[in-house]
Structure 1
């Protein structure tokens, strides 16, 4: 087990991460964090000399194809699935208000 972690240290880490916990949550999180750090201590004890780093869990390699557009003639079918359309395009709600006074 790693060295004992106290509530003050957990509170300090939480503040650094911009998190806030009440006393009840802090009491629950402190032993959990201590246990997690203990797992890293256990991992540091594992002998990894001569073990080649693994960069991927499989030997598969991404096979990329050339990216090229094709005409599918499915525009009307796609537009039928859209909840709202205008002038042959999918209409979506505005997310940025560019008006001078902030009114929509």
Structure 2
């Protein structure tokens, strides 16, 4: 007969439910929902509105990404030129004074 002071529990079982993600199918489903909303018999659903806003926000960010990259690089160049001009002006006026 074995005496134990601490009883160990069994390890947790690993239970993985596989999920398949098909981006084309999901995109078709979202497009279908958008079309359904345009019909007159559509019932308002807040989750659909949330998904639509997220979709449109993402599209807006994607379309502006190249513009933002160009704008950021231009700002970086201008800031570097400004700093360089200030440093050169300080060095020039420091020598003359």
Larger Rg: 2
Quick one: higher RCO (CA 8 Å, sep 6+), 1 or 2?
1
TM-score normalised over the length of structure 2: 0.28
TM-score normalised over the length of structure 1: 0.26
Of Structure 1 and Structure 2, the greater helix share is in 2
